[in-house]
Structure 1
Amino acid sequence: MPTPSLSETDLEIYRNDLSNPEKSTDELFNRLNGFYQRFATNEQLLADFEYISALNSLESSYTFKKEHFNKEIAELKKQFKQLDNRIVAAEQKLRHGIPEDLLVMDKIIAEQESIIEDQEKLNSAETHIVEQVRKIDIEHGKALQKLEEQQKNRGIPFKGKFSAFNEKIRNAEKGITLKVRGFSLLAIIGIPLIIDLFFGLIGSPNFSKSSNNIIFNHYFFLISLILIELFLADKIRNRISRMLSITYLKDSLNTLDNLLTENKRQLAKVESEHHISLSEFVKKSGDALGY
């Protein structure tokens, strides 16, 4: 099943979820990574749209030029046929020998000279048309080859681009995870230490220094540590995780939003330049290309 493309609605929902404390950072990172994978579909659609549109324009221009020269060739054939008829008529006039009337003879000679001149013109026109047809065939072949190479070469950085996006997100998540562990450890241990120190400073009767056992001298710390680990540790980790992650996630979302906006701008540009509708393109080519 093809990966669905990314929409502005998806980004808006995600933006709202960033403000929802119930959403875990693991889920938010997974969705962000998924968004970049889905945006790859948007970029592939743009690449295919540009390629097919350019290809259609090339074929349309080539067909128009060929039709133009085909009409010229058809007209040239008519003129050659007319010339053949003139040649036949001139030969018939000489079939019974050279006429004695000099005026008639001059007309026949003038006609033959005219035939030769017109024949040279037609041959020259034919050579020019053949050369033009050959030229547009070569130009069309080069244009197709260039277009194919552009499409092929585009796929290499295209794949690397999104691999880099995914790698960047993974590295950011790993870095934030390490920081969360460090800050969480400080908080989970620091709070019991503060509580232990507080009761020690106020001289709590339960804070005994009569024993050499450090555990019994600091049981407020142990009790607080156990209670925090049981009831507050996960909340502390989640809170720190959101504090450290939210800025990166918002920046990544803005980057993705800008990329999606540029993608849509490029799609509109192709529609304008090639006078083709994206919806019509998807309708015609969607099944074949997997959209």
Structure 2
Amino acid sequence: MPIPSLSETDLEAYRNDLSNPEKSTGELFITLTGLYQRFAGNEQLLANFEYAAELQSLENSYASKKDQYNKEITELKRQFKQLDNRIVAAEQKLRHGIPDDLMVMDKIIAEQESIVEDQEKLNHAESSVVEQVRKIDIAHGKDLQKLEQQQNNRNTPLNSKFSAFTEQLKQAEKRITLKASAIAIIAIIGIPLILDLGLVSLGLPALSKNTNNLIFTHYIFLIALILVELFLAEKIRSRISGMLSISYLKDSLATLQNLLTENKKQIFKVESEHKISLSEFVKQNYTA
């Protein structure tokens, strides 16, 4: 099953959402959190792609070396067979006894010495090839172990990284909500206060003359405060929250855009270095 991933289209759609006055701050934060979670899929796919590409390169290199040594072993077997034929031929010459002709005997002795010398060379060559094969087997095993450790090292910080991103968004939303609430309180109180002071300065009489009761003296403020709370408070909070949030959300979107761009660059680098395409990798590993 394919890993849900982020695309440029998703980012463009979110930019449009930021310009949409009908989108609430809560919706925008939820959507951005979802985009970061989807981008975690891009990073996981990249990590898997890097691992698979490096593994394929290791296996190809190992297979190439093994193939070369297998050819050498095949050649040594051919030479050993030729040597066996020479040994058989030399034994056949002595089957009917030691020849009287000294020249013939010298040739047989020289051939036997040559056989022994060639056999030692072949044995040494065989031991050398076997040792080289042993070394590349050990090196390949270490390379695989190192690659596996690198993959584990990728996945662990990757999970922590996006958990941190999600937590940052949650904390930012809380901070902005608290700040917006504080500013909204000032606005909600300020509007009735300004109205009250304005009307009083225009000479609007109090409900009861010669009284020190604040309720009767500033009834305009109280009425205006109630009306603002009933009809405007939520809009004020929403507007202030939106103004404070948009800047943060735009910055977070820019960060996400940079991360996506870097992700694409890394994918291109892996494709170039290892001669393997991401689309082919996805086709082989993420399609039913």
State the TM-score, normalized to the length of structure 2.
0.96
Displacement of 1:209? 4.1
Is the counterpart of residue 102 in structure 1 residue 102 in structure 2? yes
Structure 1 stretches of at least 4 aligned residues deviating more than 6 Å after TM superposition: none
Partner of 1:159: 159
**What is the one-letter code of the residue matched to 1:9?**
T
**C-alpha separation between the residues in 2 aligned to 1:35 and 1:233?**
31
Partner of 2:112: 112
Equivalent in the alignment of 2:29 = 29
**Matches for 1:1-291 after TM superposition, within 5 Å:** 4-205=4-205, 209-287=209-287
Task: Measure how far apart 1:61 and its partner are.
Answer: 1.3
**Percent identity for Structure 1 against Structure 2:** 72
Does the aligned pair in 1 maintain the 2:18–2:246 contact within 8 Å? Answer: yes
Post-superposition CA distance 1:132-163 (Å, at most 9, x none): 10011000000000011111122221111111
In structure 2, how many angstroms separate the alpha carbons of the residues matched to 1:265 and 1:41? 16
| Residues 172-203 of structure 1 deviation map (CA, whole Å, 9 limit, x = unaligned) | 11111110110001101110000000000110
Q: What is the one-letter code of the residue matched to 1:72?
A: E
Deviations 1:86-117 (A, max 9, x none): 00100111111221112211211111111111
Superposed CA offset, 1:72-91 (max 9, x none): 11111111011001001001
- Opposite residue 237 of structure 2, the aligned amino acid is R
Which ranges in structure 2 are unaligned for 5 or more consecutive residues? none
Indicate conservation of the 8 Å contact 1:200/1:207, yes or no. no
Letter in 1 for 2:39: F
CA distance in 2, matches of 1:48, 1:268: 14
Question: Which is further off, 96-105 or 2-11?
Answer: 2-11
> Which whole-Å CA distance do the structure 1 matches of 2:85 and 2:206 have between them?
130
How many residues are aligned here? Answer: 288
Q: Structure 1 stretch 204-213 or stretch 150-159: which is displaced more?
A: 204-213
Deviations 1:194-245 (A, max 9, x none): 0000000110246654444322222211221122222221221111111111
Q: Which 10-residue stretch deviates more, 34-43 or 211-220?
A: 211-220
CA distance in 2, matches of 1:192, 1:147: 68
Does the C-alpha gap of structure 1 residues 209 and 261 become closer, same or farther in structure 2, counting only changes over 3 Å? farther
CA RMSD across the alignment: 1.6
Q: Distance in 2 between matches of 1:194 and 1:49?
A: 63
Aligned-partner residue type, residue 234 of structure 1: E
Residue 2 (structure 1) shift: 6.9
Displacement of 1:47: 0.5
Matched residue type, 1:179: K
Taking the aligned partners of 1:89 and 1:188, their CA distance within structure 2 comes to 114
2:180–2:237 CA contact under 8 A, matched in 1:
yes
CA contact (8 A) 1:267 1:278 kept: yes
Distance 2:200 2:100 in 1: 148
Q: Could you tell me which runs of 5 or more consecutive residues in structure 1 were left unpaired when the two chains were aligned.
A: none
Partner AA of 1:27 in structure 2: E
Aligned partners of 2:222, 2:100: CA distance in 1, in Å? Answer: 140
Q: Which moved more, 1:171-180 or 1:221-230?
A: 221-230
Contact 1:199 1:207 (8 Å CA) reproduced: no
Larger mean CA deviation between 172-181 and 204-213 belongs to 204-213
CA distance in 1, matches of 2:124, 2:209: 118
Q: TM-score, normalised by structure 1?
A: 0.95
Q: 3-state DSSP class of the match of 2:232?
A: helix
The change in CA–CA distance for 1:209 and 1:34 in structure 2 (over 3 A counts) is farther
On the 8 A contact 1:90/1:108 being kept in 2, the answer is: yes
8 Å CA contact 2:2, 2:286 repeated in 1: no
> 2-side partners of 1:280 and 1:180: how far apart?
49
CA distance in 2, matches of 1:243, 1:161: 28
Q: Does the 8 Å contact 1:83/1:115 carry over to 2? A: yes
